Amino acid sequence: MSEIDEGFYSRQLYVLGHDAMYRMGKANVLIAGLRGLGVEIAKNVILSGVKSVTIQDEGQTEWTDLSSQFFLKESHLGQNRATCSLQQLSDLNPRVRVSAHTGPLDNDLLLQFQVVVLTDSSLDDQKRFGELCHSQGIKFIVADTRGLCGQLFCDFGEEFEVLDRDGEAPASAVIQRITKDNPGVVLCTDEQRHEFSDGIKVSFSEVQGMTELNSIGPVEIRVRDPYSFSTVDTSAFSEYEGGGIVTEVKETFKIDFKPLSEALLDHELLINNDYGKIQRHNTLHLAFQALHSFVKKQQRLPLPWCQSDADVLLDMVRELNTVAQLEQLDEAAVRKLSYTAQGDLAPMNAFIGGLAAQEVIKACSGKFTPLQQWLYFDALECLPEEEDQLTECSSPAKGTRYDGQITVFGEAFQEKLERQRYFLVGAGAIGCELLKNFALMGLGAGEEGHITVTDMDFIEKSNLNRQFLFRSQDIGKPKSDVAAKAVREMNPQMNITAHKNRLDPDSEGVYDYNFFKGLNGVAAALDNVEARVYLDGRCVQHQTPMLEGGTLGSKGHTLVVVPHLTESYGRDQSSSDKAIPLCTLKNFPYRIEHTLQWARDHFEGQFKQTPENVNLFLRDVGFVERTLGHGDAEALEVLGGVWSSLEEMQVGGQRPTSWKDCVSWARCKWETVYNNDIRQLLHCFPPEQTDSGLPFWSGSKRCPHPLTFDPNNTTHVEYVVAAANLYAQIYGVNGTRDFASIREILETVSVPPFTPKSSVKIHLTDKEMKEDKTKDSDDAEKARLEELKGKLASPSLKSSAMQMNPIDFEKDDDSNFHMDYIVAASNLRAENYDIPAADRHQSKRIAGRIIPAIATTTAAVAGLMCLELYKLVQGHQKLSSYRTSYFILAVQYFVLAQPRRPQTFQVAGKKYTLWDDFLVEGRRGGQQEMTLGDLVEYIKENYSLTICSLLYGPSLIYSGQKDRLKLSVSDVVKMVTKKEIPPYKKMLDLMPSFVEEEEDCEVAPPIRYLL
């Protein structure tokens, strides 16, 4: 890989980094076996961007392949699997060379590769090729799924070097104080916790006084509490005076792997992923070996749901245990493995395939910690909960595309799957993977079944790296349309409708009461918490099950929400602790994140908000009065910005009439923010200032210095070029990138002189800033406001003015000057404060709030969500059958656990949960609608509760007003809210308070009132 295509790999680069991707670009990978698991691994590895992938398979397409091999069609039956899949796999990523090998595996073939993956292989082949790869330094991976059980093994040879354990950015903290002691104790500032862990190594920089720490190499630390840690002996060092940053030093390390034949005997090498299943996974380690012996002897897998075959397999496992000496075998799991071993399930392959592909990436790049060395996974809870129902799963295969699934669950379950009506919200990365799984499973593919998918986004180039249903020719098209078309090609029986609606209160006319009541479930493939919370609320309201999943780089989570059994997704728990204080952004930045947010705020203010305000002023006569209602401080800022944007520069305004004016504005802006503002700050707080005897500029307050404009400094000129062009765009003036002509204009620009003023007040805290904003303005400010009102009331100002062009920030277009401006603006401010600069790539992630993403995690998340879907369709009622998950593929960390039960609360001595409500039909038996008095009476009669108040949204519609009791409920709602109830609104959510409630009872079940 000579050059990394940053447009295509954008989101993955933030997971792996450039160096790891350059190393991957040299790797040739062999993937043997192209059934469902093989194609899943191949898809993820090809999308990740290795040099080449060779897919090997001697076999012909069979009916059972179609239940999980998404690139095979009925027309491919009887043809070679690798050959039939080649074109589709090649189309995923033209940057990767993909070829097919239809002959057998042999030593000469394997020696051409740096990484070899075996799927659907015999134990003899695994041992033979494992020995060869181990001796030749070839990274070796075995992946297998059998029905509802899966296996993964890695051998990366001896002394495999891990260059980055977890891919996390090194933690850093600002120092407050260091003791002279043995060991020395470092106290960090209390702005935020230090995030260091015990035993890591750190380096020190910018420490004043105790400068010895700046020159010693990485040292180990011991964490004392979230704000301090101990380090080396500092008793002989100089006295600490102030300042200093401590940064984690990430070290490389080496791992020795055992070859497969040795690792088979070592149970210590099993990685746990579900702590309730340790015994089961130890048993599966033996059961998979026994399965290979069974196949070798019988020349077939155990027959589906065959008792005698299960007995034979169990005897084999017991025999193996005479050596392994496990205290207890999970015999039921062995039987179920035997019953379902012929099954081939898309969700299992998606999960194990995601994990296996991530191991390939680790093998190629040295990034992240590899699996050491075995992982077993099962989802046997997907089978019927009651033993007597298991016999219903037994159905002979009969030549349909779902045979691989029918083998496990039976014909009746398949028909039930096909009757499902599901709503998928989001057709991005997880959405594409879910739709692929839905198509393979046949979800909603029967006569009564249906899938509705909605996504308001359009396809961009950066999507193609993990949203695998899209190709470059689809860029600019709606995601939902293209995704729906792609899965119809995978399974022509799919009944799917694509919408382009955002899911929010505005679309409740489409996704109304009848829509939700017609659903069996909802799948959330969303990328923000706010939308998840809203969708979760709708599902609770309509008692609809929900599957939810999300990713962040190599981290993934899944949640299943089952009415009356589990808790729901719940309210937005994300704390605002991470929000950067405004005074930090304005005057006291100490991290690159602060300068980037500052640059982004400047972008929004200058190039979006002010032009929008001007356009509002020009078309809305009430704009000035409305703005004055927001307080004098805000009105001065907003109206001042509007006036100066409308007045030409020649008469004291900011409106340019030429390109030269735009360059002049940008140059003067540079002077204001990087020189004048800093000089003013230092005038108010000189470098030597103290506060309560301590230096003012210490801890997280970094003392800045002003910059002097230099036309030969690239960053200085880049700022002017970007700022001038953006300024020109909002006024409809033509700009240029020609540096030489811009430098010529710069020579003619007159920069006004500046003298710091003693009257300027600089806020030290956000509280001070808030208090000042709400304070009454002084006479000078009031006079200025009156003057502005007069100027803006001038008819000539409006008549000569033109609409402006507000700019929406777009991070992925390198030609639009947006990121040019952000990078230059942020790095210049970083230079003011001696903060290390950030390159364009890093700046784009932080300022663009990009969520790092990679196909492997997405595939694994969608696989786990669809395993929970099986359970929902089965109608499981036991909490122990379901799983929520959290995992980090980078370090093979898994937590699969039972969901939590919903919390209970009491009203008048009776227990309720969030799933409980008081459902009331407003028009019973076709009669006229009940009055508010009828409703109060109905609740009293049926639930022995007396309503004392009712809320509809934020509106208090009843709190004892007798006159309202005679009106119909909907009339009361209309009267109080002063709004009509939309015709699609079939249910009103009313929040009651009851006389009988305890004083400390904050919640009560809602009244769901059907119109």
Residues annotated as catalytic are 583
- C-alpha to C-alpha distances, 73 to 81, 330, 545, 1010, nearest whole angstrom: 10, 38, 32, 47
- C-alpha to C-alpha distances, 910 to 562, 565, 905, 992, 995, nearest whole angstrom: 22, 18, 8, 16, 14
Tally of CB atoms within 10 A around 234: 21
616/245 Cα distance (integer angstroms): 47
Cβ(892)–Cβ(374) below 8 Å:
no
148/881 Cα distance (integer angstroms): 14
**Pairing state between β 28-32 and 52-56:** parallel
378/6 Cα distance (integer angstroms): 37
Tally of CB atoms within 10 A around 66: 25
DSSP 8-state secondary structure symbol assigned to residue 775: S
> Which residue pairs, CB below 8 angstroms and at least 24 apart, start in 186-191?
186/221, 186/228, 186/229, 186/230, 186/231, 186/246, 187/227, 187/228, 188/227, 188/228, 188/246, 189/699, 189/700, 190/227, 191/700
Q: Is the peptide bond before 606 cis (omega within 30 degrees of 0)?
A: no
**Angle at which helices 278-298 and 331-340 cross, to 10°:** 40
Tally of CB atoms within 10 A around 737: 12
Upper half-sphere CA count for residue 598 (Cβ side, 13 Å): 24
As a whole number of Å, the end-to-end CA separation of the chain is 63
Cβ(945)–Cβ(994) below 8 Å:
yes
SS3 category, 963: helix
- C-alpha to C-alpha distances, 30 to 133, 298, 788, nearest whole angstrom: 12, 29, 72
Contacts of 502 (CB under 8 A, 6+ apart): 454, 456
SS3 category, 961: coil
409/403 Cα distance (integer angstroms): 10
SS3 category, 437: helix
Query: Measuring CA to CA, which residue among 311, 378, 325 is closest to residue 351?
Result: 378
Q: Is the peptide bond before 226 cis (omega within 30 degrees of 0)?
A: no
- C-alpha to C-alpha distances, 712 to 677, 678, 704, 742, nearest whole angstrom: 23, 22, 22, 12
573/529 Cα distance (integer angstroms): 9
Q: Kindly state the tokens that stand for 721.
A: 């070029």
DSSP class per residue in 695-757: ESS-TT-PPP------TT-HHHHHHHHHHHHHHHHHHT------HHHHHHHHHH--PPP----
